[in-house]
C-alpha cells in the first residue's frame, strides 16, 4: 500500500481571501491593524443577534472553513494509506471535534478558552509531520490501527506540552518570533509542493494504468487552480472567502460531467456517525513526538496572530493583562482540544484565521454565532453523506487545489520574513536555516556511507527539514537575545 510522504492550509485560505492576512503577525498587535477595525460592528462580542442574522453569519463562517477542516484529515488518511471506512471515520471525527473545540474556545472555562468568536478546526500544518512519521514507522510491522494509535498518542503528548507552554506564551513570543514562524511556514510549503506534485504524477500513473484519460486529470488540476486564483482576485470579498470551496466545486462538477468521479466506499458506512472513545489503541513514540513539537510551537504563534486580530475586530484589548489572558486561554485551549481530538481518533486542531475576514465582512463578532458554527460542524460530521462527498474528490482536483495552496504556504513564509524591520537579517536567517535544514537531512545517509549509524530518533528528526529548520531558527533567536 502506497504511503505518501507529505511533510499547512488554514493560513493559505486566509491569504487567498484576505490580501492583508492577520496571520502575518505574531506580536501584540497585527501588522495589518489599518485594515482591521471594530468601528463598523453591528453586533459585539456579547450581543445576541436575531436568529436570521445569526444563521447567515454562522453559515458564512462555515463556508470559509469547512473545506479545510474536511480536506486535512483526508490528506493524512491518504498519506497513511488508510482504508475507506477508517478514512470516513477520521473525516467525520475531525468535523465533530472541530465543533466541540470551537465551543470550548468560545466559552472560556477557567484558564481554557479565549472567550472570543474564534473558530477552531483540524490543522493542515500537521499533515507533513504526521504522514512523514507514518512512513518512518511503516517498517515496524504495525497494523493501520496501531500506526494511527502511535501517531495520535504521540500527538496528545505534544499537545499537553503546548498547554503548558501556552501558559507562558507572553515570554515564549520573544523567542518564537515572526522570523522563526516565517522560516517554518516556508519550509512547510517548500516540502509540500514537491509532495503534491509527486502525488499528482502518481494519480496520472494510476489513471494511465487503468486505461483512463490522463488529459482529464491535468484538466481537473488546471481548472481547480484557475477557479481558485480567479475567485481570489475578485473584488467581491464573499467570492474571495469562498474561493477554495468554489474551486473544489468546479473541479467536482467537471469530474462529474466527464464521468471521472471517484466512488466513495459504501461498505461499513453508517446512516449516522458518532465519535468513539479511543477507536485506535493509543501508543507513544519519542521520535514522532519530537517531530510534532516544533509544529505545535508554530501553530502557537499562528494562534497568537489570529487571536490578536479577533480581539481587535471584536473591540477588545490588544495589549495589557486582559489581552494576554485571552491569548493565553486561546492557545491553551488549542492544546486541550488537540488532546481531545487524539482521544476520539482525530488530528490536532488550531484556530482559523479566515474567520476574522468573516467577522470583518459581516460586522458580527458575537460569541453566540460561534455556538451555531460549532453545532453545524458537529451535524456535518455526523452526516456520512458529507464525508462521502469528500472521499469522492478525484486525485486531479484534490492535488491541484492543495498544490496551489501549498505553494502559497511558501509565499506566506517569505511574506512574514519581508515584514520584519531588519529585512536583510531576516532574509539571511531564512537562507541559512533553509540550507542548513536540507544539509542536515543528508547527514544520516552520509554517515551511513562511512559506517556510522545515527540513533533512530536522531535520523528521523534530521530527515524532516521543517523540524530541523525551525530548531535552527529558534537557536538563532535565542543566541541573539543572549547577546
- pLDDT over 70 for what percent of the chain? 89
Q: How far apart are CA 154 and CA 266, in angstroms?
A: 31
Q: How far apart are CA 159 and CA 154, in angstroms?
A: 9
66 found inside a domain: yes
Averaged pLDDT for residues 410-420 = 82
What does the pLDDT read at residue 372?
Answer: 93
pLDDT tens-digit map of 42-93:
888 888 888 888 888 888 888 878 877 888 898 899 889 898 888 889 999 9
Give the residue, 28 or 131, on which the prediction is more confident.
131
Query: Which residues are paired to 122 by β-bridges?
Result: 349
Grid cell, residue 205, equals: 500513473
Q: Cell numbers 469562498 label which residue? A: 242
What does the pLDDT read at residue 39?
Answer: 55
Q: Give me the torsion for CA of 13, 18, 19, 25, rounded to 10°.
A: -80
Q: How far apart are CA 86 and CA 76, in angstroms?
A: 11
Grid cell, residue 92, equals: 467525520
Q: Give the confidence band of 302 by pLDDT, cuts at 50, 70, 90.
A: confident
Decide: 123 and 303 in contact? Cβ < 8 Å: no
453 found inside a domain: no
Q: How far apart are CA 335 and CA 155, in angstroms?
A: 10
Decide: 351 and 120 in contact? Cβ < 8 Å: yes
Q: Give the confidence band of 342 by pLDDT, cuts at 50, 70, 90.
A: very high
Please determine, for residue 172, whether its predicted confidence score (pLDDT) is greater than 70: yes
Decide: 106 and 117 in contact? Cβ < 8 Å: yes
143 found inside a domain: yes
473 found inside a domain: no
Please determine, for residue 7, whether its predicted confidence score (pLDDT) is greater than 50: no
Between the alpha carbon of residue 405 and those of residues 129, 232, 443, the distances in Å are 17, 12, 30
333 found inside a domain: yes
Q: How far apart are CA 292 and CA 284, in angstroms?
A: 12
Averaged pLDDT for residues 428-443 = 90
Q: Give the confidence band of 281 by pLDDT, cuts at 50, 70, 90.
A: very high
Grid cell, residue 418, equals: 519581508
In this structure, the strands spanning 120-122 and 349-351 are: antiparallel
DSSP string, 236-278: -HHHHHTHHHHHHHHHHHHHHHTT-PPPPP-TT--SS----SS
Structural domain boundaries enclosing 215? 10-420
Q: How far apart are CA 237 and CA 232, in angstroms?
A: 9
Give the residue, 267 or 298, on which the prediction is more confident.
298
Decide: 116 and 316 in contact? Cβ < 8 Å: yes
The segment with the largest mean pLDDT, out of 19-28, 82-91, 416-425, is 82-91
Q: Give me the torsion for CA of 119, 88, 199, 262, rounded to 10°.
A: -120
pLDDT tens-digit map of 235-278:
777 777 677 778 888 988 898 888 777 665 555 555 677 888 99
What does the pLDDT read at residue 40?
Answer: 65
Q: How far apart are CA 409 and CA 134, in angstroms?
A: 22
Identify the CA nearest to 405 among candidates 247, 174, 205: 247
275 found inside a domain: yes
286 found inside a domain: yes
Return the minimum-mean-pLDDT range out of 101-110, 142-151, 214-223, 254-263.
254-263
Give the residue, 158 or 192, on which the prediction is more confident.
158
What does the pLDDT read at residue 334?
Answer: 92
Domain count, the chain: 1
Average pLDDT, the chain: 81
Beta strands in 68-188 (DSSP E): 120-122
pTM assigned to the model: 0.78
Q: How far apart are CA 318 and CA 311, in angstroms?
A: 6
482 found inside a domain: no
Q: Give the confidence band of 454 by pLDDT, cuts at 50, 70, 90.
A: confident
Return the minimum-mean-pLDDT range out of 9-18, 143-152, 420-429.
9-18
Please determine, for residue 14, whether its predicted confidence score (pLDDT) is greater than 60: no
Amino acid at each position: 500500500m502506497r504511503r505518501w510522504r507529505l511533510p499547512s492550509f488554514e493560513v493559505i485560505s486566509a491569504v487567498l481571501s484576505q490580501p492583508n492576512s492577520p496571520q502575518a503577525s505574531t506580536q501584540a498587535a497585527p501588522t495589518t491593524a489599518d485594515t482591521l477595525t471594530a468601528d463598523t460592528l453591528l453586533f459585539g462580542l456579547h450581543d445576541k443577534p436575531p436568529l436570521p442574522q445569526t444563521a447567515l453569519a454562522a453559515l458564512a463562517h462555515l463556508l470559509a472553513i469547512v473545506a479545510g477542516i474536511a480536506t486535512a484529515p483526508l490528506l493524512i488518511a491518504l498519506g497513511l494509506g488508510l482504508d475507506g471506512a477508517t478514512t470516513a471515520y477520521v473525516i467525520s471525527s475531525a468535523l465533530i471535534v472541530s465543533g466541540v473545540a470551537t465551543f470550548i474556545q468560545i466559552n472560556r472555562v477557567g484558564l481554557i478558552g479565549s472567550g472570543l468568536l474564534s473558530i477552531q478546526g483540524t490543522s493542515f500544518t500537521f499533515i507533513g509531520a504526521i504522514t512523514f512519521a507514518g512512513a518512518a514507522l511503516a517498517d515496524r510491522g504495525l497494523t493501520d490501527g496501531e500506526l494511527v494509535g502511535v501517531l495520535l498518542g504521540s500527538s496528545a503528548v505534544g499537545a499537553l506540552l503546548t498547554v503548558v507552554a501556552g501558559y507562558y506564551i507572553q515570554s515564549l513570543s520573544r523567542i518564537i518570533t515572526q522570523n522563526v514562524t516565517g522560516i517554518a511556514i516556508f519550509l512547510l510549503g517548500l516540502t509540500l509542493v514537491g509532495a503534491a506534485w509527486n502525488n499528482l504524477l502518481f494519480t496520472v500513473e494510476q489513471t494511465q494504468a487503468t486505461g483512463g484519460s490522463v488529459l482529464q486529470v491535468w484538466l481537473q488540476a488546471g481548472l481547480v487552480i484557475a477557479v481558485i486564483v480567479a475567485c481570489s482576485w475578485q473584488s467581491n470579498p464573499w467570492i474571495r472567502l469562498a474561493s477554495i470551496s468554489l474551486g473544489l466545486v468546479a473541479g467536482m462538477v467537471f469530474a462529474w460531467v466527464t464521468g471521472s468521479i471517484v466512488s466513495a466506499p459504501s461498505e461499513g458506512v453508517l446512516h449516522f456517525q458518532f465519535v468513539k472513545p479511543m477507536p485506535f489503541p493509543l501508543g507513544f513514540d519519542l521520535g514522532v513526538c519530537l517531530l510534532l513539537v516544533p509544529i505545535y510551537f508554530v501553530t502557537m504563534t499562528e494562534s497568537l496572530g489570529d487571536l490578536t486580530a479577533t480581539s481587535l475586530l471584536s473591540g477588545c484589548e490588544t495589549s495589557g493583562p486582559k489581552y494576554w489572558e485571552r491569548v493565553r486561554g486561546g492557545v491553551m485551549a488549542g492544546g486541550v482540544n488537540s488532546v481531545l481530538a487524539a482521544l476520539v481518533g482525530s488530528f490536532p486542531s488550531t484556530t482559523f484565521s479566515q474567520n476574522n475576514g468573516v467577522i470583518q465582512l459581516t460586522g458580527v463578532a458575537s460569541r453566540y454565532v460561534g455556538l451555531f458554527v460549532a453545532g453545524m460542524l458537529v451535524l456535518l460530521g455526523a452526516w456520512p453523506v458529507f464525508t462521502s462527498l469528500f472521499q469522492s474528490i478525484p486525485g486531479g482536483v484534490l492535488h491541484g487545489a492543495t498544490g496551489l495552496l501549498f505553494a502559497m504556504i511558501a509565499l506566506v513564509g517569505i511574506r512574514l520574513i519581508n515584514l520584519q524591520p531588519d529585512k536583510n537579517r531576516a532574509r539571511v536567517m531564512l537562507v541559512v536555516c533553509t540550507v542548513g535544514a536540507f544539509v542536515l537531512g543528508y547527514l544520516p545517509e552520509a554517515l551511513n556511507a562511512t559506517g556510522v549509524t545515527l540513533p533512530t530518533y536522531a535520523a528521523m528528526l534530521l530527515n524532516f527539514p521543517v523540524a530541523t529548520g525551525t530548531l535552527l531558527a529558534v537557536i538563532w533567536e535565542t543566541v541573539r537575545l543572549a547577546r
